[in-house]
């Protein structure tokens, strides 16, 4: 099925999400305004759907490069979660997500693809949770779900 059809019908599908960390800080991105759902909202470092028969880690590496121009990291799988969320415009994300963590330094070279990402920033998990509580409307549904329901499973000791 086409990606748009999958989301319009709320079909359960595979996905990959990556969180790049620099010690206690996490890199988040603001989705480009041209995205067909959740444009302009803040999300985790990157996320996508794997190609047919693409290994999740290969997908994570591909999207770090395509969305943010980030190369040379070593994303490690930390969990698999499933969620279902309304993403607006009559679309539903029903995803089974392989979640990866990649360690980086704060001076990491980031070259966002403007078709994908309009802004990035680093903040601690506690700062991110506080911002989501204060302004939930500016964050993607899946980021809110990850932090509300799966924070300890994803971030372990960093949580």
Among 46, 59, 93, 95, the active-site one is 95
Q: What gap in Å lies between CA 92 and CA 69, rounded to an integer?
A: 28
Verify whether residue 46 is a known catalytic residue: no
Among 47, 59, 67, 93, the active-site one is 47
Verify whether residue 47 is a known catalytic residue: yes
Q: What gap in Å lies between CA 63 and CA 1, rounded to an integer?
A: 21
Q: How many CB atoms sit inside 10 A of residue 39's CB?
A: 14
* 31 touches 15 (CB < 8 A): no
Distances (CA, A) of 131 to 6, 25, 98, 114, 122: 30, 14, 25, 24, 13
Residue spans of beta strands (DSSP E) within the chain: 12-22, 25-31, 42-43, 46-48, 76-88, 91-103, 117-124
Which residues carry out catalysis? 47, 95
């Amino acid at each position: 099925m086409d990606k748009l059809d999958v989301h319009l019908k709320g079909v359960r599908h595979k996905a990959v999400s990556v969180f790049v960390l620099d010690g206690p800080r996490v890199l988040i991105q603001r989705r480009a305004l041209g995205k067909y759902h959740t444009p302009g909202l803040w999300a985790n470092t990157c996320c996508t759907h794997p190609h047919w028969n693409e290994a999740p880690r290969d997908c994570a590496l591909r999207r770090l490069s395509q969305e943010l121009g980030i190369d040379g990291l070593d994303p490690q799988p930390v969990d698999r979660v499933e969620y279902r969320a309304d993403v607006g415009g009559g679309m539903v994300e029903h995803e089974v997500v392989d979640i990866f963590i990649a360690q980086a330094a704060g001076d990491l070279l980031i070259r966002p693809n403007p078709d994908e990402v309009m802004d990035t920033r680093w903040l601690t998990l506690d700062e991110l949770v506080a911002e989501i509580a204060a302004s939930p409307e500016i964050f993607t549904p899946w980021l809110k779900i990850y932090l509300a329901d799966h924070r300890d499973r994803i971030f372990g000791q960093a949580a």
